[in-house]
C-alpha cells in the first residue's frame, strides 16, 4: 500500500483537515466537521433517551398541543379540561399551535383534548423530536458565537460545552421542556449585543419574554443596558431615534403577543395564569438558594429548642408541622420570622440595584454579560418560589464568561457543579440517575480539561491560597454527597421492598435537603465571588472579552 493511501487511512473521517473543502460551502457559518460530529453524537444520545423517564411536563406540553389545536384562541387561557392548564405567555402558545399541526398529521390522538395522559410511542417520538429540532436555534446561535469572537478556539470549547450542557440533557431531553430552544433565543439576543446590534438584541429579548416569563429574572440588566448603551450617548444625552425605534419594536412585540387577548379582554385571566401568587416560599424540593439555607437554619434551631426544652424562644406550631411534613406544602418557619413575597422582592431588587449601578457606569458587552448573570443570580437566590430548573438562567450566560480569567473559570466551575448537582433530584428513577451522574461527570471533566490550563493563574496572596483550598475541598465534597444520597436511596428501596409500611418521610427528605443545602452554599458563594470580580473587573480582571465594546 502506498504511503499516500496509508496516511489517508490513518486519518479517521472526523479529521477536520480532510473536510476543509467540504466546509467551504458553509463558510458563512464556519461549520467544521468536528461541529457536525458534536451535533451527531449529541443527537444520537438524545435519540437513545427517547424511552427514558418523562416528568409530568411531558403531559403538560402534550395538553397544550391539544388545547391550541382543538380550541379557538379565545378559550386557550380558560380551558381546564386537564389540570395542566396553559400558563406560559402567548408566543409559547402560538409555538405549541404550530407544533400541533404536524402532530395532528403524525397521530390525531396527540391533539385530542380529552385524551389525557396519552403516552403512545407516536406522541413520545413526536414531542421528543420537536425538542431536538427546535434546539437547533441554540446550535446556530452558539456557532455564530465562534465566528467573530476574540479567541475562536476558546469560544468553540464554550459553545460546545453549552450545546452539550447536562442541564439541557436533564431538563429538556429526559425531564422534558423546551429550554434549549428558548435559551437559543437568549443567546441570539446576547450575540446581537456582542456584535453591536443592540436593537435586535432588545427585540429578541422581548420576544423571549413572551415565550416564557421566567426570563424576567434577566430583564433588569437588559433594561439598564439598552437604556444606557443604546438610548443614551456616552455623555448622557438621549438618542431619540434609537429610543423610539427600540420602544416601538418592543411595543410591537408585545402587541403581537398579547394583542389578540387584549382585544378579547382576557389580559387579567392571562396574567392570573402566568403569575399564580398562591405558592409557597420554597418549591417542593428546595431550589439551592438563600431561602433553602434559611429554612434549614430554622429547622436546626427548632431541633435544638426541642432538644433543650427551653421556653425562652417562642415556637410557631404551624412551623413545627411544616417541618415534619418535609416535602409537601408551604414553608412556614417555626422560629425565624415569616417571609412574605414582598420581602423576597425587595431583597432581590436591592441586590440587582447594586449590580445595575455598576452596569450603568460601564455599559460594555462584558459588563452587560456579567450584570445579566448576576441579575438572574440574585433572582434565583432571593426570589419567591424559585424552581431549581431556573439555575440554567445563571449557568448559560455564566458559561460565556468561563474562560475570561481564572477567577471567572473557578466561579463557573463551582456554580456549574453545584447547579447541575442541584438538578439531579429532578430525575429520581435509578436508570436516569446513572445517566445524569455519568454524563455530568464526563461533561465537567471535559470542560475542566479543555479550559483550566488555558486560564490557570497562581493564587497571589495567602488569603487566595486559603480560599483556593477551601473551594477545592467544597468541590471534593460532591462525590461524597453523591455517595451519601445513593446510599440512602438504596436503603429506602430495600426497606420498601421488605416491609409494606412506608418508610419514614424523613429518610426520603433528608437526601434532598442535604443536596439542596450543600448546593446552596456553592451557589451563594459563587454569586458573591462573581459580584466581587465584577466590581474589580476594570482594575484586576481584564480579559479577552474586555476588548469587545
Partner 1 sequence: MFGDYEAQRHWLEITTHLPFREWYTYDLQYWGLDYPPLTAYVSWVCGLIAHSLNPAWVALDASRGIETPGSKLFMRLSVVVLDLLVYVPALVLFVKTWLGTRSHRTQEHALLVLLLQPGLLLVDHGHFQYNSVMLGFTLVALSLFTRGRDLGAAIAFVMSLGFKQMALYYAPAVGSYLLAKCLWLGWARGARLFIRLGATTVLAFTLLFAPFFLPPFAPSFAHVLHPITRIFPFGRGLFEDKVANFWCASNVVVKWTRLTIAAAGGDEEKARGWLVKLSTLLTAVGFTPSVIGLLRAGWVTMPSGSNSQKQEEQRDGEEEKTLPGFIALLPYALLTSSMSFFLFSFQVHEKTILVPLLPLTLLMAAAQPGSSLHCWGALGNNIAIFSMWPLLKRDGQGIACLATLLLWNMVVGYNPLKRTGEKKVVVKENVTKTSSLWSLPFVQLVSLAVYPAAIALVLLEMVVTPPRRYPDIIPVLNVLISTPVFVLIWLWSIKCGIEVGWALGGWSSGSHHKLPEKLPVEGSNSKGHEDGHGPSLD
- Residues in the site for partner 1, rule: CB under 8 A? 1, 5-6, 8-14, 37, 40-41, 43-44, 47-48, 50-51, 121, 125, 429-431, 434, 490, 493-494, 497-498
Looking at the Cβ atoms of 43 and 272, the one nearer to partner 1 is: 43
Kindly state the smallest distance separating residue 133's Cβ from partner 1, in Å. 15
CB 548 within 8 A of CB 194: yes
Identify the H or E element spanning 186: helix 179-194
CB 19 within 8 A of CB 12: no
Kindly state the smallest distance separating residue 14's Cβ from partner 1, in Å. 8
Length reported for the chain: 549
3-state secondary structure 467-493: HHHHHHHHHHHHHHHHHHHHHHHHHHH
Kindly state the smallest distance separating residue 39's Cβ from partner 1, in Å. 11
Looking at the Cβ atoms of 125 and 274, the one nearer to partner 1 is: 125
Looking at the Cβ atoms of 29 and 50, the one nearer to partner 1 is: 50
CB 340 within 8 A of CB 348: no
Looking at the Cβ atoms of 18 and 310, the one nearer to partner 1 is: 18
The 8-class DSSP code of residue 426 comes to G
Kindly state the smallest distance separating residue 138's Cβ from partner 1, in Å. 20
Kindly report each contact of residues 43-51 with a partner whose C-beta sits within 8 Å and lies 24 or more positions away, as own/partner: 43/132, 45/169, 45/173, 45/439, 46/128, 46/131, 46/132, 46/169, 46/173, 47/132, 49/128, 49/169, 49/173, 49/174, 49/435, 50/124, 50/125, 50/128, 51/124
Kindly state the smallest distance separating residue 174's Cβ from partner 1, in Å. 14
Kindly state the smallest distance separating residue 167's Cβ from partner 1, in Å. 22
Cell numbers 436516569 correspond to 432
Kindly state the smallest distance separating residue 326's Cβ from partner 1, in Å. 22
Looking at the Cβ atoms of 122 and 546, the one nearer to partner 1 is: 122
Kindly state the smallest distance separating residue 159's Cβ from partner 1, in Å. 21
Looking at the Cβ atoms of 119 and 457, the one nearer to partner 1 is: 119
Looking at the Cβ atoms of 454 and 491, the one nearer to partner 1 is: 491
Catalogue the E-assigned strands of 42-114: none
Kindly state the smallest distance separating residue 50's Cβ from partner 1, in Å. 5
Kindly state the smallest distance separating residue 494's Cβ from partner 1, in Å. 5
Looking at the Cβ atoms of 288 and 511, the one nearer to partner 1 is: 511
The 8-class DSSP code of residue 18 comes to G
CA angle in degrees (0–180, nearest 5) for 436-468-543: 85
Beta carbons within 8 Å of 524's beta carbon, 6+ residues apart: 289, 290, 293, 381
The 8-class DSSP code of residue 278 comes to T
Q: Which of 254, 249, 253, 257 is nearest to 226 (CA)?
A: 249
Torsion of CA 359, 363, 367, 373, to 10 degrees: 60
Kindly state the smallest distance separating residue 44's Cβ from partner 1, in Å. 4
Looking at the Cβ atoms of 13 and 265, the one nearer to partner 1 is: 13
Looking at the Cβ atoms of 11 and 306, the one nearer to partner 1 is: 11
Kindly state the smallest distance separating residue 4's Cβ from partner 1, in Å. 10
> How far is 437 from 166, CA to CA, in rounded Å?
9
Looking at the Cβ atoms of 12 and 236, the one nearer to partner 1 is: 12
Cα first-last separation, the chain = 55
> How far is 540 from 549, CA to CA, in rounded Å?
18
CB 368 within 8 A of CB 399: no
CB 185 within 8 A of CB 207: yes
Looking at the Cβ atoms of 357 and 490, the one nearer to partner 1 is: 490
Kindly report each contact of residues 449-455 with a partner whose C-beta sits within 8 Å and lies 24 or more positions away, as own/partner: 450/157, 450/161, 451/154, 451/157, 451/158, 451/402, 451/403, 451/409, 452/409, 454/154, 454/403, 455/403, 455/404, 455/405, 455/406, 455/408, 455/409
> How far is 172 from 402, CA to CA, in rounded Å?
23
Kindly state the smallest distance separating residue 496's Cβ from partner 1, in Å. 9
Torsion of CA 403, 405, 408, 413, to 10 degrees: 60
The 8-class DSSP code of residue 11 comes to S
Identify the H or E element spanning 58: helix 56-70
Looking at the Cβ atoms of 235 and 498, the one nearer to partner 1 is: 498
Looking at the Cβ atoms of 63 and 127, the one nearer to partner 1 is: 127
Phi, psi for 454 (deg, rounded to 5): -75, -25
Kindly state the smallest distance separating residue 482's Cβ from partner 1, in Å. 15
CB 468 within 8 A of CB 459: yes
Amino acid at each position: 500500500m502506498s504511503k499516500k493511501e496509508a496516511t489517508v487511512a490513518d486519518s479517521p473521517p472526523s479529521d477536520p483537515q480532510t473536510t476543509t473543502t467540504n466546509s467551504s460551502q458553509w463558510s458563512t457559518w464556519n461549520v467544521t466537521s468536528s461541529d457536525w460530529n458534536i451535533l451527531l453524537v449529541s443527537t444520537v444520545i438524545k435519540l437513545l433517551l427517547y424511552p427514558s423517564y418523562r416528568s409530568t411536563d411531558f403531559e403538560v406540553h402534550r395538553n397544550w398541543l391539544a388545547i391550541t389545536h382543538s380550541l379557538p384562541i379565545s378559550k386557550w387561557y380558560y380551558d381546564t379540561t386537564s389540570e395542566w392548564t396553559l400558563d406560559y405567555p402567548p408566543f409559547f402558545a402560538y409555538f405549541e399551535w404550530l407544533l400541533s399541526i404536524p402532530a395532528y398529521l403524525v397521530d390525531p390522538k396527540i391533539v385530542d383534548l380529552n385524551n389525557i395522559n396519552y403516552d403512545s410511542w407516536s406522541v413520545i417520538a413526536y414531542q421528543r423530536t420537536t425538542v431536538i429540532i427546535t434546539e437547533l436555534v441554540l446550535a446556530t446561535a452558539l456557532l455564530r458565537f465562534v465566528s467573530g469572537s476574540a479567541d475562536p478556539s476558546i469560544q468553540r470549547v464554550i459553545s460546545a460545552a453549552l450545546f452539550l450542557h447536562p442541564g439541557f440533557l436533564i431538563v429538556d431531553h429526559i425531564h422534558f421542556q423546551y429550554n434549549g430552544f428558548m435559551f437559543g433565543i437568549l443567546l441570539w439576543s446576547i450575540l446581537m449585543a456582542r456584535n453591536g446590534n443592540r436593537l435586535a438584541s432588545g427585540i429578541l429579548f422581548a420576544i423571549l419574554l413572551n415565550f416564557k416569563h421566567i426570563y424576567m429574572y434577566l430583564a433588569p440588566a437588559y433594561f439598564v443596558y439598552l437604556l444606557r448603551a443604546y438610548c443614551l450617548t456616552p455623555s448622557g444625552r438621549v438618542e431619540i431615534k434609537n429610543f423610539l425605534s427600540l420602544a416601538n419594536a418592543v411595543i410591537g412585540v408585545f402587541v403581537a403577543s398579547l394583542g389578540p387577548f387584549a382585544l378579547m379582554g382576557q389580559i387579567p385571566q392571562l396574567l392570573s395564569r402566568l403569575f399564580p401568587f398562591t405558592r409557597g416560599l420554597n418549591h417542593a424540593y428546595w431550589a439551592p438558594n438563600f431561602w433553602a439555607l434559611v429554612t434549614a437554619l430554622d429547622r436546626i434551631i427548632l431541633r435544638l429548642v426541642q432538644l433543650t426544652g427551653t421556653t425562652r424562644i417562642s415556637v410557631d406550631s404551624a412551623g413545627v408541622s411544616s417541618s415534619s411534613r418535609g416535602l409537601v406544602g408551604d414553608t412556614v418557619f417555626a422560629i425565624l420570622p415569616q417571609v412574605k413575597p414582598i420581602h423576597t422582592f425587595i431583597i432581590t431588587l436591592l441586590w440587582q440595584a447594586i449590580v445595575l449601578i455598576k452596569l450603568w457606569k460601564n455599559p460594555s458587552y462584558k459588563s452587560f454579560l456579567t450584570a445579566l448573570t448576576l441579575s438572574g443570580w440574585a433572582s434565583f437566590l432571593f426570589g419567591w418560589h424559585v424552581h431549581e430548573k431556573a439555575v440554567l438562567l445563571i449557568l448559560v450566560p455564566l458559561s460565556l464568561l468561563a474562560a475570561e480569567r481564572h477567577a471567572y473559570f473557578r466561579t463557573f466551575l463551582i456554580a456549574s457543579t453545584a447547579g447541575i448537582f442541584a438538578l439531579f433530584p429532578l430525575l429520581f428513577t435509578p436508570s436516569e440517575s446513572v445517566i445524569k451522574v455519568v454524563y455530568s461527570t464526563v461533561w465537567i471533566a471535559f470542560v475542566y480539561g479543555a479550559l483550566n490550563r488555558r486560564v490557570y493563574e497562581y493564587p497571589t496572596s495567602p488569603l487566595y491560597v486559603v480560599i483556593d483550598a477551601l473551594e477545592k475541598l467544597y468541590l471534593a465534597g460532591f462525590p461524597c454527597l453523591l455517595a451519601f444520597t445513593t446510599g440512602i436511596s438504596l436503603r429506602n428501596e430495600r426497606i420498601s421492598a421488605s416491609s409494606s409500611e412506608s418508610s419514614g418521610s424523613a429518610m426520603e427528605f433528608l437526601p434532598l435537603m442535604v443536596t439542596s443545602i450543600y448546593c446552596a452554599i456553592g451557589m451563594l458563594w459563587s454569586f458573591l465571588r462573581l459580584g466581587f470580580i465584577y466590581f474589580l473587573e476594570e482594575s484586576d480582571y481584564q480579559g479577552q472579552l474586555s476588548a469587545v465594546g
